[in-house]
Amino acid sequence: GAVVSQHPSWVICKSGTSVKIECRSLDFQATTMFWYRQFPKQSLMLMATSNEGSKATYEQGVEKDKFLINHASLTLSTLTVTSAHPEDSSFYICSATGGDRASYEQYFGPGTRLTVT
Amino acid sequence: AQSVTQLGSHVSVSEGALVLLRCNYSSSVPPYLFWYVQYPNQGLQLLLKYTSAATLVKGINGFEAEFKKSETSFHLTKPSAHMSDAAEYFCAAGTGGGNKLTFGTGTQLKVEL
């Protein structure tokens, strides 16, 4: 159990366009989902925490108007990168927790590679 | 604020040799501690976790880690390295008051013949 999927796994978009990344918990209800960003050869940096039905909580320095997060259901959260620029190119990873799992147990998706040209 | 330090961004071992990846945390309150493995272009897979039960934690793929409060450490070990163990390893800490995880900077493990 505790499977988290992401779609797409890889996306290329042109500068100025928006791209949406989906994160789904396949076999449990994810009351909380997290979005991370990972630059090459670096660690994961938490971007935001989203609770189902509530507004996301963004970490300091993360532009909430640029990285729109929606967690409308217990199995789906989306991250939309608006007006993407080349510096937004990165590996985006989501994680989820919830159900009967302890709050500190996060299960990670496989990640989405975003390249902005 | 919680911080996690992984000593050695790159570790190289011979196949069959002991693997030791170091992790230290900074917290007056023992946190929950995790080791994750990441293969290229993939997400994170949980290897093992410490949640204030047994101090010696066994995980998947033959890995284990020992929580040492006096040293604020949670080092990851495996008695005999396999080529398939070559990957990036992350130590992470979570505090009981919330769900957030703080990650170390990662250690790239290379396994040589």
How confident is the prediction along chain B (113 residues), in pLDDT tens digits per residue? 778 999 999 999 999 999 999 999 987 666 789 999 999 888 899 999 998 778 899 999 999 999 998 999 999 999 999 999 999 999 999 865 557 888 999 999 999 99
Tell me the one-letter amino acid at A18. S
- Asked whether the beta carbons of residue A43 and residue B105 sit closer than 8 angstroms, the reply is yes
Cβ contacts of B106 on chain A, cutoff 8 Å: 42-43
Task: Provide the token pair at A70.
Answer: 């929606």
- Give CA–CA dist B43/B8, Å, rounded: 21
Task: Provide the token pair at A53.
Answer: 């039905």
What integer pLDDT is reported at residue A114 of this predicted model?
Answer: 97
Residue of chain A whose Cα is closest to the Cα of B87? A41
- Give the bridge partners for A58, in sequence order: A48
Using alpha carbons, select from A24, A39, A23 the residue that is nearest to residue A113. A39
Interface test with chain B among A41, A43, A57, by most B beta carbons within 10 Å = A43
The per-residue DSSP string of A60-76 comes to TT--TTTEEEEEEETTE
- Asked whether the beta carbons of residue B45 and residue A111 sit closer than 8 angstroms, the reply is no
Q: Is the peptide bond before A8 cis (omega within 30 degrees of 0)?
A: yes
Q: Which residue do the tokens 């590996």 mark?
A: A91
End-to-end CA gap in chain A: 37
- Asked whether the beta carbons of residue B99 and residue A106 sit closer than 8 angstroms, the reply is yes
Within a 10 A sphere around the Cβ of B103, how many other Cβ atoms? Answer: 21
- Asked whether the beta carbons of residue A111 and residue B96 sit closer than 8 angstroms, the reply is no
Pairing mode, strands A112-116 and A10-13: parallel
* Residue-by-residue pLDDT tens, chain A, 117 positions: 688 999 999 999 999 999 999 999 998 888 899 999 998 888 889 999 998 888 899 999 999 999 999 988 999 999 999 999 999 999 999 999 887 666 678 899 999 999 999
